Copies of this chain bind each other. A is one copy, B any other.
Amino acid sequence: MTGSVGRPHELEAIELLASLVGPGPEGEVWIGDDAAVLGPASAPVLFATDLAAEGVHFDRRHGTLADLGWRVLVQNLSDIAAMGGRPRAAVVAVAGAGFDELGLIYEGLLEASRRFGCPVVGGDLSDATALNISVAILGASAGTAPVLRSGAGPGETVFVTGPLGAASAGLRELRADPGARSACTAAFLRPVPRLGEGVAAALGGARAMIDVSDGFGIDLRRLAEASGVGVVLDELPVAPGATPDEALGGGEDYELVFTAPDPGAVAARFAESGLRAPVPVGTTTADVAEFLLRGVPLASTGYEHRLG
């Protein structure tokens, strides 16, 4: 292999693919959101894929292969959560795992599968020179239209489902000491997809939603750009043990960010569902150029390696 999609080219690559594929028919969403939305509108189907490649998404010194199996399924579950949907089933393609390694990867995959109610129903196996795990996930609507990235209008409240930066802090701790164990290392090794929160947000009137997979700054900016709104943030909820930079730029938190016009309806839905209240962090504005945290322009830092 020569060459690879480096970060500076990633958005270009996604634009290339989106232009090649085209937008899809009325009522469907193809490339460009957390998951594709397929018709019929009365019972939309959600469909997404996310891969983990050794040396890019994971390093065996920082977690077990069971942790890796868990993480790659959760990364896909989070794409369904970010649409306000429920997972239905997943398929898993593993290249480059030995027999024992495969057993370990599936141990974590199936723990997450049972915990979050998403059976692994098929897969493919192959030799390869490097370990690569690709998961595809199928989801269904939980009773509302799927919540896209593009639906926000000005004057809505911006919420996040929990404090940020724990996964990134956990990775920092593991890099310093592979034996470290803390709430932050758990957030990195065994993240939790916010499935109940995604449904509650949708039922509470969320107009736009995205998961924090690449970093809060960059993911929120994606939502704002897709919606054509600005964002003024008053708060940045930082997880205990994390730095503000990690909260802003660290990826893999898998919290959800969403906007909604009626904060009271959101609070009521989360309370009814017995979920921790989401944190209001700011407001959307009509000025698409505006992207501020406490009056200071916000860097859209984070990793750019996802297609949708």
Instruction: Give the shortest distance, in Å, between A13 (CB) and chain B (any CB).
Output: 6
Contact with B along A97-114 (1 / 0, CB 8 A): 111111100100010000
Mark out the residues of chain A between 117 and 152 whose CB falls within 8 Å of any chain B CB in the assembled complex. 119-132, 134, 136, 138
Q: Are B51 and A121 in contact, with the CB atoms below 8 A?
A: no
Q: Are A45 and B126 in contact, with the CB atoms below 8 A?
A: no
Q: Are A13 and B99 in contact, with the CB atoms below 8 A?
A: yes
Main secondary structure of the interface of A (DSSP, over half): mixed
Report Cα–Cα, A3/B45, bound state, in Å. 38
- Residues from chain B with Cβ under 8 Å of A21 in the complex: 106, 110, 119-121
- Residues from chain B with Cβ under 8 Å of A101 in the complex: 3
Report Cα–Cα, A142/B88, bound state, in Å. 21
A244 at the interface (CB under 8 A from B): no
Q: Are A30 and B121 in contact, with the CB atoms below 8 A?
A: yes
Report Cα–Cα, A3/B98, bound state, in Å. 5
Instruction: Give the shortest distance, in Å, between A226 (CB) and chain B (any CB).
Output: 15
Q: Are A53 and B2 in contact, with the CB atoms below 8 A?
A: no
Report Cα–Cα, A276/B230, bound state, in Å. 59
Total A residues in contact with B, Cβ cutoff 8 Å: 70
Instruction: Give the shortest distance, in Å, between A16 (CB) and chain B (any CB).
Output: 6
Q: Are A132 and B30 in contact, with the CB atoms below 8 A?
A: no
Instruction: Give the shortest distance, in Å, between A136 (CB) and chain B (any CB).
Output: 3
Instruction: Give the shortest distance, in Å, between A262 (CB) and chain B (any CB).
Output: 31
The chain B residue sitting closest to A138, CB to CB, is B47
Q: Are A5 and B102 in contact, with the CB atoms below 8 A?
A: yes
Contact with B along A19-54 (1 / 0, CB 8 A): 011001000101100011010000001011111011
- Name the one of B91, B100, B126 contacting A136, with C-beta atoms under 8 angstroms: B91
A95 at the interface (CB under 8 A from B): yes
Mark out the residues of chain A between 280 and 303 whose CB falls within 8 Å of any chain B CB in the assembled complex. none
Report Cα–Cα, A55/B10, bound state, in Å. 25
A212 at the interface (CB under 8 A from B): no
Instruction: Give the shortest distance, in Å, between A296 (CB) and chain B (any CB).
Output: 32
Report Cα–Cα, A306/B94, bound state, in Å. 11
- Residues from chain B with Cβ under 8 Å of A129 in the complex: 1, 54-55, 129-130
Q: Are B93 and A50 in contact, with the CB atoms below 8 A?
A: yes
**27 A-B residue contacts at CB 8 Å?**
A1-B128, A1-B129, A2-B98, A3-B98, A5-B99, A9-B99, A13-B125, A17-B102, A17-B106, A17-B123, A24-B119, A30-B120, A31-B123, A35-B122, A36-B89, A49-B93, A49-B122, A49-B123, A51-B93, A53-B132, A56-B127, A93-B136, A95-B132, A122-B307, A123-B308, A124-B307, A125-B306
Which residues of A does B touch, CB under 8 Å?
A: 1-6, 9-10, 12-14, 16-17, 20-21, 24, 28, 30-31, 35-36, 38, 45, 47-51, 53-57, 88-89, 91-93, 95-103, 106, 110, 119-132, 134, 136, 138, 305-308
